[in-house]
Structure formats: structure tokens, C-alpha cells
Amino acid sequence: MVSSIIESMKNDNNIRSWFLVIGVLVILTVIGIGVIAAVQASTRRVLGPVTDLSSSLGTQVSQVLHPTPTIIPDPLTVIYQIRTLARLETIQYSIEKVITAETGQTLFGSLFGDRLLFVAHGLIIAGIDMEKLGPEDMWIENGVLYVQLPQAEIFVAALDNDKSYIYDRETGIFTKGDPGLETLARQAAEDEIRNAALEDGILEQAQTNAEAYMLRLFLSLGYTDVIFVELEPEPVP
């Protein structure tokens, strides 16, 4: 009987010991989790400013190596001339042209030469100047309206800077390139675009479009029969 009681007490002690061990483990686990969380928070507080400083330093270095251009227009504006226009624009061309500009392309071109390929996008607008149309250019004979329109001309021949760009550039080993070469390429591009439009017959088409437009206008005014008379070309001196 006594041995049974002693054995029972031993079992109770073992159970208490296991409960104590489990409780201690649970407490240690909770403490460990708290310590880890505290260390992580402290690490973030310590490394956060370092990370921000590194990011800020990287941004500053990038701005130094690749600065953003700043455009500062002069507040002073000078208007030289104001002119009233009465232009009838009747056709528009959009032209792309590749221009090669080069200098120093001799035997030592690889050392001192400069060469670029410029892709030019140009805009050509043509029509007739209605200021040149006077009362003597319109008359009526036998119920027919005769009209002598001014000759078509080009009003705008300019590059589209948003679409024009340098495709490629090669400079010699001992040269930084001609700073005015791109300017020369742009000037040549404007001339080439203008010539291309003229060769394609932009003035003839502009004149035809102007006559068609003016015919609709005269018909709407009640003139039932309209004839356009070609302007006699000025004699060449």
C-alpha cells in the first residue's frame, strides 16, 4: 500500500515536472520571438537611414552624370514686324529625307574626319496669296465670270524638330567633331525637302486645289459660269 502511494506521488511529480518544462519552453519561445522582433525593428531603424542615404547619393550621382537640360527663356521679347496675311493654303506635304554631312573625309578621315547621318522630317505648305488678287483680276463678259488667280507659292518649308534626329555620327580619333556640321545638315535638309516637293509638282497641285476652292465659292455667290484664266508669266530679264 505504501509503495503504491509512493509510486503515485512519483508519477504526480513527473507530470508536474513535464508541465514545468513545457511552461518554461513556452516562455522562452515567446521571449525569443520578442527579441527577434526587437532586433529586426532596431536593424530597420539603423539601416533605414543608410539605405535612404545610399539611394539619395545614387540619385545625385545620376544627376551629375546625366543632367537634365534647363531651358530659361529671356523675359525680354522684341516684335520686329506685324503683317496682315490673306493666304489660302491648299496643300501640305510631309517629307522624310536622309542627309549625309561630312568633313575631312580624306586619306586621314579616320583620324580627323567627321561624318553624320541626319534623318530630316519636313513640312511643306503651299497655296495662293489672296492679297495679290485685285479687282482687275476678275471681270464679267457675256454673263461669264473670268478670274485670274495669283500663282501658287510655297508658304512654309521647315523641319519638324520633334521628328528630325541624328541617326549616326562617326568622328576621327583625334577630333571631337565639327560643332557646326549638324547646322549645315539641317540647312541642306530644308533645301532638299523644298526641292523634292517642287519636283513632285506641289505648286501645280496647289493651283488646282485653289481653283477648285474658289469655284465653289463663286458658285455659292450665284455665278453659274466661271472660267479661270492663267496668269501670264513675267518676262525673264
Q: Which domain holds residue 162?
A: 87-228
Tens of pLDDT, residues 56-83 = 655 655 655 566 777 777 777 788 788 7
Q: What is the pTM of this model?
A: 0.63
The answer to whether position 233 is within a domain reads no
Tens of pLDDT, residues 132-167 = 999 999 999 998 999 999 999 999 999 998 898 988
- Kind and range of the H or E element at 182? helix 181-199
- Kind and range of the H or E element at 122? strand 114-129
Please tell me whether residues 92 and 58 are part of one structural domain: no
The number of distinct structural domains making up the chain is 2
The answer to whether position 169 is within a domain reads yes
Q: Given 49, 72, 95, which residue is the final one in a domain?
A: 72
If pLDDT is split at 50, 70 and 90, which confidence band does 108 have? Answer: low
Per DSSP, the three-state class of 73 is coil
Please tell me whether residues 19 and 101 are part of one structural domain: no
Q: Are strands 114-129 and 87-103 parallel, antiparallel or unpaired?
A: antiparallel
